[in-house]
Amino acid sequence: MIRYALSCEHEHAFEAWFGSSADYDEQSARGLVECPMCASKLIRKQIMAPAVAGTKAAAPSPEMQAVMMEAATRVRKHVEDNFDYVGDRFAREARDIHDGVMPDRGIYGEATPREVRELAEDGIPVAPVPGAPRPKPRLN
């Protein structure tokens, strides 16, 4: 269904619902759309903002959350097991590897948002490592 804001030649404003935009076009062409105030058949559509449903993303189900957390944990473990930890020297090391000053190898560490932005702007690929899972709160 689609709702149109309409008006007639006498500027009477009204709304009407149609099965589709093609339904409106077909009914209007056949003279079946008329003003409810004066019965004029000279009708035009008015400018209106679309009513968009579902703009908020639905929260993932508990099962999907568990799958996502497991995947994030696996990614983090892979990085920790196979990459060199460079601590807060990450930005400098990444730049040196990119520039060929240091040998090519996988690294991880910490960087400020500004350092990450500058690396990305210079074409140096960076990606965040998923955080470690938070411990569950103890109840009593």
Give the residue extent of every domain in the chain: 2-45, 62-121
Integer Cα distance of 47 and 43 in angstroms? 13
Instruction: Please list the residues that pair with 107 across neighbouring strands.
Output: 84
Whether 123 has a pLDDT exceeding 80, the answer reads yes
User: Within 10 A of 43 (CB to CB), how many other CB atoms are there?
Assistant: 20
- Give the pLDDT of residue 1: 76
pLDDT in tens, 8-60: 999 898 888 888 888 888 998 999 999 888 999 999 998 776 666 665 667 88
- Give the pLDDT of residue 41: 92
- Give the pLDDT of residue 2: 85
> In which element (H, E) is residue 102 found?
none
Q: Can you list the alpha helix ranges (DSSP code H) found in the chain?
A: 21-29, 62-82, 90-98, 113-121
Integer Cα distance of 39 and 29 in angstroms? 16
User: Within 10 A of 130 (CB to CB), how many other CB atoms are there?
Assistant: 16
pLDDT in tens, 70-88: 888 899 999 999 999 999 9
User: Within 10 A of 111 (CB to CB), how many other CB atoms are there?
Assistant: 21
